[in-house]
């Protein structure tokens, strides 16, 4: 691993195969050379999203994908509901308000995820809602929502279910078609192991029908335009050529290393190791519905979270994330995303021990790394 290693919930470390793909010569996006590259990318996106439906590529961050979904499905004055469980899920409401959409937010404890019962109540109280916006993993807190159960509730209504899976797609199980999720949004710089700069949006037939009938004034972020272009094997605007090549390299790597299911298991294994190491130092997890995407760890009394983060970065070359808004200064967020090997996790735990010592806390040498190593080890084979 490089000296400066990212354990953040985006951007993440890039594998060598992706770095090599990013360095390839560029081709024209309307040329015969690019056509098979883009075709492969469309197939790869459907594979990642676990869907047979189209997945729209957009040149923007994940927030742009959220905006595209909201403004393509809803017109000014339309009603929607959303779960507010942290800084990122609150963004659904901010986007809707900016476009005159009547969005009703339901705030829950940030340490919890959204549940089917909550969504059922939301729709009962707002039967005119055309869209339900949810967040799979709220990276503010590391909390995971029950998307499978929520999809069962929404599928029996006229509403469209939209899921922000910006940090979770590729890291947590998300069965878009099997669960009946209408729209899934993700970003390139998370579990997909790409640089920032692209969002991807899957669209079910139910969602596409709503998009086609929506009296939306959106222009660049129009999913209606993008879907029509995808039907012709292209994009309505200039394609992100280099990132498309890199996407294919990243998905090839996922396929060669066991597929999407194996990627889910790798993230779970990393998360177990990170938790185990942190817990030996007296850190506890903030979330009561924890994900394998990012662990929001609360330092013990006497340990300053901000100093801990700065020490890991400046003294040891490990970048982790701090808390945001009401959690600012209270937690340390350590992600299991991107190109991370076991050595990097063990080295981070050793650095974390030393960072505790920098704040005057006595720590048994090697205790966190040993706990993480045990969590990384395969279980014993039954006799």
Span 32-49, average pLDDT: 98
CA angle at 99 for the pair 164 and 91, rounded to the nearest 5°: 30
The answer to whether 372 touches 277, Cβ cutoff 8 Å, is yes
Fold observed for domain 16-256? 3.40.640
Residue 382, pLDDT > 80, answer: no
Q: pTM value?
A: 0.96
The answer to whether 197 touches 61, Cβ cutoff 8 Å, is yes
- What is the average pLDDT value for the chain, to the nearest integer? 97
Taking only the tens place, the pLDDT of each residue in 175-219 is 999 999 999 999 999 999 999 999 999 999 999 999 999 999 999
Structure confidence at residue 231 (pLDDT) = 97
Q: Torsions phi, psi of 267, nearest 5? A: -65, -40
The answer to whether 40 touches 248, Cβ cutoff 8 Å, is yes
* Strand stretches in the chain, DSSP E: 5-6, 55-58, 79-84, 102-107, 131-135, 137-138, 143-144, 160-164, 183-187, 199-203, 284-285, 294-298, 318-319, 321-322, 332-335
Structure confidence at residue 2 (pLDDT) = 45
CA angle at 118 for the pair 131 and 127, rounded to the nearest 5°: 45
Q: Flag the least confident range among 83-87, 220-224, 326-330, 378-382.
A: 378-382
Using CA atoms of 333, 336, 342, 348 in order, give the dihedral in degrees to the nearest 10: -10
What residue ranges do the domains of the chain occupy?
Answer: 16-256, 258-376
Which helix or strand (DSSP H or E) is residue 301 part of?
Answer: none
Rounded Cα distance, 12 and 196, in Å: 9
64 pLDDT tier (thresholds 50, 70, 90): very high
Rounded Cα distance, 89 and 60, in Å: 18
Rounded Cα distance, 154 and 131, in Å: 9
Which helix or strand (DSSP H or E) is residue 381 part of?
Answer: none
Structure confidence at residue 1 (pLDDT) = 41
Structure confidence at residue 380 (pLDDT) = 60
Instruction: For the chain, give the number of residues.
Output: 383
Rounded Cα distance, 219 and 212, in Å: 14
Q: Torsions phi, psi of 21, nearest 5? A: -65, -35
Structure confidence at residue 378 (pLDDT) = 82
Q: Torsions phi, psi of 300, nearest 5? A: -70, 165
**Cβ neighbourhood burial of 221 (10 Å; 0-12, 13-18, 19+):** buried
3-state SS assignment for residue 155: helix
Other Cβ atoms within 10 Å of 149 Cβ, number: 15
CA 254, 171, 155, 134 dihedral sign is negative
Fold observed for domain 258-376? 3.90.1150
Rounded Cα distance, 379 and 237, in Å: 50
DSSP at 111: T
Other Cβ atoms within 10 Å of 52 Cβ, number: 10
Pairing mode, if any, of strands 199-203 and 321-322? unpaired
Structure confidence at residue 182 (pLDDT) = 98
Pairing mode, if any, of strands 321-322 and 332-335? antiparallel
Residue whose tokens read 């590729």: 170
Using a pLDDT cut of 90, give the percent of the chain over it.
Answer: 97
Span 365-379, average pLDDT: 94
Taking only the tens place, the pLDDT of each residue in 71-130 is 999 999 999 999 999 999 999 999 999 999 999 999 999 999 999 999 999 999 999 999
**Cβ neighbourhood burial of 300 (10 Å; 0-12, 13-18, 19+):** exposed
381 pLDDT tier (thresholds 50, 70, 90): low
């Amino acid at each position: 691993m490089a000296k400066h290693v990212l354990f953040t919930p985006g951007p993440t470390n890039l594998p060598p195969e992706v770095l090599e793909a990013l360095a390839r010569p560029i081709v024209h996006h309307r040329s015969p050379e690019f056509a098979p590259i883009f075709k492969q990318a469309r197939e790869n996106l459907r594979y990642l999203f676990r869907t047979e439906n189209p997945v729209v590529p957009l040149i923007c961050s994940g927030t742009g994908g959220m905006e595209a979904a909201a403004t393509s499905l809803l017109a000014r004055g339309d009603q929607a509901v959303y779960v507010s469980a942290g800084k990122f899920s609150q963004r659904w409401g901010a986007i809707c308000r900016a476009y005159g959409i009547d969005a009703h937010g339901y705030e829950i404890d940030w340490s919890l995820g959204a549940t089917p019962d909550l969504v059922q109540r939301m729709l009962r109280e707002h039967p005119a809602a055309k869209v339900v916006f949810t967040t799979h993993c709220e990276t503010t807190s590391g909390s995971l929502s029950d998307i499978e159960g929520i999809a069962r509730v929404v599928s029996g209504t006229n509403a469209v279910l939209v899921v922000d899976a910006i940090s979770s797609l590729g890291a947590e199980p998300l069965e878009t078609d099997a669960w009946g999720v209408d729209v899934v949004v993700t970003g390139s710089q998370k579990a997909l192991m790409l640089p920032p700069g692209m969002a991807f949006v899957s669209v079910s037939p139910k969602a596409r029908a709503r998009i086609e009938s929506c009296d939306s004034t959106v222009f660049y972020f129009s999913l209606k335009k993008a879907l029509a272009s995808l039907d012709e094997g292209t994009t309505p605007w200039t394609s992100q050529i280099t990132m498309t090549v890199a996407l294919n390299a990243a998905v090839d790597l996922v396929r060669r290393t066991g597929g999407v299911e194996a990627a889910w298991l790798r993230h779970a294994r990393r998360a177990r190791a990170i938790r185990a190491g942190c817990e030996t130092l007296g850190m506890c997890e903030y979330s009561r519905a924890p994900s394998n995407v990012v662990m929001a760890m609360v330092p013990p009394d006497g340990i300053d979270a901000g100093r801990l983060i700065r020490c890991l970065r400046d003294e040891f070359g490990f970048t982790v994330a701090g808390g945001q808004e009401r959690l600012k200064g209270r937690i340390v967020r350590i992600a299991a995303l991107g190109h991370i090997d076991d050595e990097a996790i063990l080295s981070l735990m050793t650095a974390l021990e030393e960072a505790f010592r920098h704040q005057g806390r006595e720590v048994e040498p090697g205790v966190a790394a040993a706990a993480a190593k045990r969590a990384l080890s395969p279980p014993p084979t039954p006799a």
